Homo-oligomer: A and B are copies of this chain.
Amino acid sequence: MAKEKRETIPNSQATRVIPQGKLLIIGGKEDKGDTPEREKEHNVNFISEQILKRFVEELKGENPLVVVIPTASRIPEETAQDYLDVFQSLGAKNVQVADIRNRQDANKPEYVELIRKAAGIMFTGGDQLRLTAIFGGSEMLVAMKEQYAFTQVVIAGTSAGATAMSTPMIYEGESEGGYIKGDVRVTTGLEFLKNVAIDTHFLTRGRIVRLTQAICTNPECIGIGLEEDTAIFVTQGGNVEVVGSGLVTVVDGMGITETNIYDIGNGQPFTAKGLRMHMLGNGDEYVVPSYMRFQLQ
């Protein structure tokens, strides 16, 4: 059931919340022996165990419930089964699948209830636009944000599931190169992080240019590029720790001194000078600026 009415509290003074929950945002990793189609949709087995072990270790409570959300995938049953297997092998036995395929599902009380009981939530890979178009404004997303604010839930996402966690959310750039203006499409993500653009498969697919382009359109935002087999573990809404074998690239545009992003037409290359960049490895820490932190809506 779609909501019939938005709730409005015209003069409320909501307090910005330092979330007690945690995020595990994973850069994805494909099997190079797989077919391209299956690579895109079906990469669960290839996330390094280091990262998923961390997920399981961080779960709180006895026999903690993990909810797998395969909504981004076009083969949700297979994708979910892979996670059931992986978590089983890592010792997390209490795993349920929320096989949400449309906005009606995302508002169903039984799924909202499942989220409220979850100690961990896992968004699989696929297409991030499915996640925002289906969960945006839904009761399940409200429940996830409340869990994230007030409980120690761990919310994880890989590939598309990682990209959708923050606003702005990049999707479907037409070319992998991305140096042509207009390749990068952006919308509002699920917003567990704000003013952060996350890109995945970062070095493998050479996405530094498309991330930088997204940042140049508004340097208030920072970009975080995650290599495959690499994740960030986020506590207190913005304290970042790198986990995994690869690098995390942070692109900060606040110091941009020159850019032609507003002077060129679509299809032309863009330039930008004065960007700041950080490359971080396993165990490194980074603090997301405070004004980018989570707000309970």
> Chain A interface (Cβ within 8 Å of chain B)?
2-4, 6-18, 102-104, 127, 129-130, 132-134, 136-137, 141, 167-169, 171-172, 174, 182, 185-189, 191, 195, 214, 216-221, 236, 238-239, 252-259, 261-262, 266, 274, 287-291, 295, 297
Contacts and interface: CB of A to CB of B under 8 A. Distances in A.
14 contacts: A2-B255, A10-B287, A12-B290, A14-B291, A104-B257, A127-B262, A129-B217, A133-B218, A133-B219, A133-B262, A136-B253, A137-B219, A187-B217, A188-B221
From A17, A102, A195, A290, name the one whose CB has the most chain B CB atoms within 10 angstroms: A290
Nearest to A142: B291
Contacts of A259: 133
Given A8-B287, A217-B132, A2 B274 contact: yes
A132 B188 CA distance: 16
Main secondary structure of the interface of A (DSSP, over half): loop
B238 A218 contact: no
B186 A185 contact: yes
